[in-house]
Amino acid sequence: QKEVEQNSGPLSVPEGAIASLNCTYSDRGSQSFFWYRQYSGKSPELIMFIYSNGDKEDGRFTAQLNKASQYVSLLIRDSQPSDSATYLCAVKRGSTLGRLYFGRGTQLTVWP
């Protein structure tokens, strides 16, 4: 079982819709959870992070964490074509020195 699993997609939504991206992780001791956006040929760009169970909102983005289910998600409201990218879920385990474990990423396409 991989440390971090994501549906690779592709996920396709119309402009203005809500895009829902999901991620599960295997280590119950994981402490911190991050979402990165990566445009083709570019490096990952941090969108947001979450540490506590529940929801965290930042503009059009909402991260949701459920530690009991070992599940973290990212919702993108009012999706725009510029949101088309690969979204990477990353997890920091409690026992490590800060290294991140990444999923394979979910490719999102927002069509006008």
Compute the least distance from the CB of residue 14 to another protein, in Å. 25
Residue 91 interacting with another protein (CB under 8 A): no
| Residues forming beta bridges with residue 6, ordered by sequence position | 23
Residue 103 interacting with another protein (CB under 8 A): yes
Residue 109 interacting with another protein (CB under 8 A): no
What are φ and ψ of residue 34, in 5° steps? -130, 145
Residue 90 to residue 102: CA distance in whole angstroms: 4
**Applying CB under 8 A, which residues contact another protein?**
4, 8, 32, 34, 36, 42-46, 49, 88, 90, 92, 96-105
